[in-house]
Chains A and B, each alone.
Chain A
Amino acid sequence: MSVLTGGHSATDAARERTFGPLYSRNALSVVSRGLMAAKSSTWLILVSGFFEPVLYLISMGVGLGPIVGTVAGPGGQEISYAAYIAPALLAVSAMNGAVYDSTWNVFFKMNFAKLYQGMLYTSLGPLDVAIGEVFLALLRGLLYATGFTAVMAVMGLITTPWAVLVIPASVLIAFGFASFGMGITSFMKTFQQMDWINFFMLPMFLFSATFYPLSVYPQYIQWLIQAMPLWHGVELLRQISIGSFSPATAVHIAYYLVMIALGITLTTGRLRKLFLK
């Protein structure tokens, strides 16, 4: 065996790439590692994450729906209760998938599996790791969203071709949560602290106009909820699902674009601080 090979080898070529101080243009290797690991271990989690919103939709939409009757949709037109909550549940599932991947998964890899320490001793930079992990979270979000949209179609809740756009919009929502989640997780040291994330997520899930309109709240509560990311996701998907767009649609999208930019900045900065200290 020779470790030093003569001539121009694959390893020389790999060394002659252009590197940045934080980025080596190789986030793809982090993604392919995630896919390889998923192949063997996380199927069950993947499946359970898909069924959760479907079960909510069946129980609330089919069970509660007939009692509620029709409700006013984004453009003011009457839609069935199931059609009202379905896009909201899709937003919740995009959020949950992304948050699970970028918080609990990342927390484990960071503190127990020491995965990132290993990665950062190669020519990967922290930005490669952040992009790769966030991309994996998005891939999961994409799978959930596609599955859930198919369920909506089967249940007859899709009435316009615009509804196909809920899939990329879900990925946008997942992107926002994943990029932020990973940065926030980097501050967490113990399992108790990780529970704070649930403490924040559950009320957001229940109160972000998921199951009833925002108008039931007094004004100041409305403002509070409108500041939260999930509300923007719920409203965005609800609008798209029935093809009723307004200037607010652009605001919701912009909210997520800003969230993504801030989240990626935070995460890369934190990874640098944690691993390149």
Chain B
Amino acid sequence: MHNEATRSFSTSASFQMNPPAVITAENLTKSYGELVAVDGISFEVPAGESFGLLGPNGAGKSTTMKMIGGVSQRTSGKLSIMGLDPETHGPEVRAHLGVVPQQDNLDEELKVRENLIVYGRYFGLPLSYLRPKADELLEFAQLTDKAKSRVDALSGGMKRRLTIARSLINEPKILLLDEPTTGLDPQARHILWDRLFRLKEQGVTLILTTHYMDEAEQLCDRLIVVDKGRIMAEGSPASLIREYSTREVLELRFGSERNATIGVELAGVGERVETLPDRVLIYADDGESALEQVSARRLRPLTSLVRRSSLEDVFLRLTGRSLVD
């Protein structure tokens, strides 16, 4: 399913194995008055990669996406999309992009299929191309039988799929997805993930923000964790887990009264012990043997659970557990 022609062309053209970067950000900064939303971040995304921006609310993910799309002017730093500056070549840069914004902004005055056609017209595409393309995308988004429906009659999941279909109308080289599955039920999320994975297989570069860690693990080749406008960590999901967490996590519940004091008694079990209000997390490479050590100390948890370490553990370790507003 890989587009071999494109792949071999780019390899021979650059004389190296890595495809050239389609997005380069250097010290990208955006401030709104006093507030610094994005604080000097740098990253590169090679063609065909699926790249994630993770971070709590207000970390600067959406602002970064807007700067890439050229609809937000950076305060300082450098940004290049397909070799062009989105600030001075906005329309030209966006001709290569597909954008799925955080909130659906479908055209409610138009029918489902009309939404695709009209959006394609904004890119200057001819109707002879758009008519078959719209039908193909409706098929892709599983909305063929809704082609003539009104947009406000669609469910949340259908609207999201239509927004994604719409973003593909110009066959973008880069697809920007800002929290694509927020607010969707599990079925709708899995359908979307499947569709996004197919796009990735076809060589589309995906730039994705999310605060669903499972989504990031599913979709991203590489990601950056952003907090307060800065990059906290960068790498593949697996390497981040290796670097910032242990292989397994043991979760123990002792009841809220004992929880606070039990941390001391557990010291030395596993690599790290984290006491939360409702449970205690023990980070260890072997969760079962950590549990045996706990039993050996005659500490009897109400419940215990051994699980694989996830990106969520990394995320919480890097960005903290306090609520961000």
Contact = CB atoms under 8 A, between A and B. Distances in A.
A14 B203 contact: no
Contacts of A11: 123, 125, 129, 170-171
A11 B173 CA distance: 11
A123 B92 contact: yes
A33 B107 CA distance: 10
A119 B101 CA distance: 12
B300 interface: no
Contact of A14 (B110, B111, B125): B125
Contact of B95 (A10, A117, A123, A276): A123
Contacts of B3: 2, 4, 6
B123 A123 contact: yes
B276 interface: no
Given A3-B204, A118-B107, A123 B118 contact: no
B88 interface: yes
A120 B105 CA distance: 12
Interface string B1-15: 001011000000000
Interface stretch (A17-25, A65-73, A147-155, A238-246): A17-25
A10 B126 contact: yes
B168 interface: yes
B277 interface: no
B70 interface: yes
B199 A3 contact: yes
A14 B91 CA distance: 11
Interface residues of A, number: 43
A15 B140 CA distance: 24
A119 B88 contact: no
A125 B140 CA distance: 29
Contact of A125 (B72, B91, B106, B172): B91
Given A21-B91, A121-B99, A6 B5 contact: yes
Interface string B54-78: 0000000000000001111100000
B71 A275 contact: yes
A10 B132 CA distance: 12
Given A4-B203, A14-B125, 19 more contacts: A1-B136, A4-B3, A9-B129, A9-B171, A10-B126, A14-B170, A15-B95, A19-B92, A22-B91, A29-B121, A33-B110, A40-B110, A117-B71, A118-B101, A118-B105, A118-B119, A121-B101, A122-B94, A122-B119
Contacts of B91: 19-24, 123-125
Contact of B124 (A3, A4, A23, A29): A29
Interface in B121-143: 121-126, 128-129, 136, 139-140
A14 B90 contact: no
B40 to A, nearest CB: 20
A10 B125 contact: yes
A21 B90 contact: yes
A119 B89 contact: no
A36 interface: yes
A117 B105 contact: yes
Contacts of A32: 118, 121
Given A26-B124, A29-B118, A118-B119, A3 B171 contact: yes
B122 A37 contact: no
A5 B203 CA distance: 11
A115 interface: yes
Contacts of B95: 14-15, 19, 123
A24 B121 CA distance: 12
A113 interface: yes
A125 B125 contact: no
Contacts of A22: 90-91
Contacts of A19: 89, 91-92, 95
Contacts of A115: 105, 107
26 contacts: A1-B139, A2-B3, A3-B168, A3-B199, A4-B6, A4-B173, A10-B126, A11-B123, A11-B125, A11-B171, A17-B124, A21-B89, A22-B91, A30-B122, A32-B121, A36-B114, A37-B109, A115-B107, A117-B105, A118-B107, A121-B71, A122-B123, A125-B90, A275-B71, A276-B70, A277-B73
B271 interface: no
B175 to A, nearest CB: 9
A248 to B, nearest CB: 42
Contacts of B119: 118, 122
Contacts of B125: 10-11, 14
Nearest to A7: B5
